Amino acid sequence: MSLVTTKLTTEDVRKAVELFWTTFLAKSEEELNNFYAPGSTVFSSSGFERRGKTVFQVAMGRSEPGRLGAMRRSREYFHPETRMELKLSPIDIVLCGNDAGVASYTFQFQASGRDVGGKRMAEKLETVRATHVMHRDASGKLRIAHEHFSVPVA
């Protein structure tokens, strides 16, 4: 049960999603990991065309623990030479009681740099669908309970 007595708002969830992506783009592994609740899950499904380009591994096609997913992303994207750009669409939010909400949105993402093995890599995703199920923990912090990314098949 939360010690926080104020009701969660759509603006609280929106700010948490925006802070998540700011943290990701800042390549802050520890802070990114802290967004995920213990026991959280992430699910990504692939389906984008490679068009002859080498692409970072963004989609696993299976569920995994949230903090493992954060660790995987940091390994894939947080190399000092990696450059990333992100553009968020408007975020739709549905509140689920006083301490939880679901954020749904799309985003565009580009990354270039080096992979784990040191090879040059580039990735451009025009449309990624995203859903974050967030809940407020006992300390009042919004954490991701479930995350789902998918790329529409052309």
Predicted confidence (pLDDT) per residue in 55-64, tens digit = 434 444 567 7
pLDDT at 152 over 90: no
Higher-pLDDT residue of 76 and 40 is 40
- Tokens 């679901």: give the residue: 102
Q: Which three-class secondary structure string do you get for the chain?
A: CCCCCCCCCHHHHHHHHHHHHHHHHCCCHHHHHHCEEEEEEEEEECCCCCCCCCCCCCCCCCEEEHHHHHHHHHHHHCCCCCEEEEEECCCEEEECCCCEEEEEEEEEEEEEEECCCCCEEEEEEEEEEEEEEEEECCCCCEEEEEEEEECCCC
More confident site: 94 or 66:
94
Q: pLDDT-derived band of residue 98, with 50, 70 and 90 as boundaries?
A: very high
Q: What is the mean pLDDT of residues 70-87?
A: 86
Mean pLDDT of 118-128: 83
Q: Which domains does the chain have, with CATH numbers?
A: 10-150 (3.10.450.50)
